[in-house]
Amino acid sequence: MLPIGKFFSARNNKKKRYNYESANKLAMTLIIPSMLVMGFVIIYPLLRAFYLSFFNYKLTRPDQFSFSLTDNYARIINDQVFWIAFKNTIVFTFFTVAIGLLLGLIMAIALDQLSQRLEGLRGLVLVPWVIPGIVVGYLFMYIFDVEVGILNYTLQQLGIIQDYLPWLMRDQLAMIAIIVAHVWNQAPFYMLMFAVSLKAIPEDVKEAAYVEGASRWQEFFHVTFPYLKGTFVIASLLMVIRNFNNFPIIFTMTGGGPVYSTTTSVIYIYRKAFEQFDLGYASAIGIVWVVILLLISVIYVRSLQKDF
């Protein structure tokens, strides 16, 4: 709060009406509706999921409902598919975020050079960010299709591949395909974040670098980059969390297949819970993910508070 606020409330101490900062009752009335909704749709479900994770609870076999502190968690450790999904999530998240950051940075720097008149182009480049996940999924399923996909045709015309590749039907190719689709969808976000920080770099710093004889590369690594470091950290943490939870694009493009090769943790939890109705076990996996995400969130919140 600004010092003037303190001055103000001190001066009006007697007349409580003017006490600006402390307003417990009013604040509570304003905030309680939100807390009720969040309690009902976030906090309660979370606690219930934690509770469920200690039960053998299958919707299809209600007679087998039983408590066990460790059963589900022990099952996770021995569940090979869980570990495949774990690995897939890490690989998928790492590459989408790394490539997205790089591409977003390049696009931001290039578009930053545009003159005022062409600013509209920057807006155009942002469009993929708002395209619904399901549309991105189907669109890239079509582009990557083995027979009618435009990608196979283009690559063949360019002489990069001999025969059409069955992108969505082979392990690693499918992973590449879903990463490309996500990068297309997300690169504008990084671009925007970098564009905002590039605008914040004072002209005279760059000017000084030039006068001192720095090349463009040196200018980038020693002048521009330090200004972007904070954005780098924040944007990548945020998107790591987001991609850990990503569902629609993978679900529509590959459904987690072929076999388990693009099954991420979210897809796995979904299939366990809503296709096999193994609610107890699915909750246990979910709780493990919540813990992992909480750890990352703590780092994220810390870096938000730190002034880069």
| Residues of span 128-167 touching another protein by CB under 8 A | 128-135, 138-140, 142-143, 145, 147-148, 150, 153, 157
192 is written with which tokens? Answer: 């925007």
Burial class (CB in 10 A: 0-12, 13-18, 19+), 137: buried
CB of 91 to another protein, least distance (A): 18
| Residue 94 interacting with another protein (CB under 8 A) | no
**Scanning residues 7 to 66, which ones bind another protein (CB under 8 A)?**
8, 17-18, 20-24, 26-28, 30-31, 33-35, 37-38, 40-46, 48-49, 52
CB of 160 to another protein, least distance (A): 16
| Residue 74 interacting with another protein (CB under 8 A) | no
How is residue 4 annotated by DSSP? Answer: H
Can you tell me which residue has the tokens 């807390």? 35
User: Which among 65-73, 76-84, 91-99, 276-284 is the span making contact with another protein, rule CB under 8 A?
Assistant: 276-284
Binding marks (x or -) toward another protein, 216..245, rule CB under 8 A? Answer: x--------------x--xx--x--x--xx
- Of the candidate residues 85, 97, 192, 228, the single one contacting another protein (CB under 8 A): 192
Rounded to whole angstroms, how far apart are CA atoms 192 and 262?
Answer: 29
In 3D space, the residue among 193, 172, 179 whose CA is nearest the CA of residue 253 turns out to be 179
Closer of 89 and 261 to another protein (Cβ):
89
CA distances from residue 83 to 76, 92, 176, 210, 264 in whole angstroms, order as listed: 8, 14, 20, 51, 10
- Of the candidate residues 101, 111, 228, 253, the single one contacting another protein (CB under 8 A): 111
Closer of 12 and 66 to another protein (Cβ):
12
Characterize 160-191 residue by residue with b for buried, 16 or more Cβ atoms within 10 angstroms of its Cβ, and e for exposed.
eeeeebbbbeeeebbbbbbbbbbbbbbbbbbb
Burial class (CB in 10 A: 0-12, 13-18, 19+), 296: middle
15 is written with which tokens? Answer: 């007349």
| Residue 305 interacting with another protein (CB under 8 A) | yes
| Residue 251 interacting with another protein (CB under 8 A) | yes
CB of 147 to another protein, least distance (A): 8
Q: Total number of residues binding another protein (CB under 8 A)?
A: 109
CB of 161 to another protein, least distance (A): 16
User: Which among 60-68, 76-84, 92-100, 123-131 is the span making contact with another protein, rule CB under 8 A?
Assistant: 123-131
| Residue 259 interacting with another protein (CB under 8 A) | no
In 3D space, the residue among 244, 197, 235, 296 whose CA is nearest the CA of residue 100 turns out to be 235
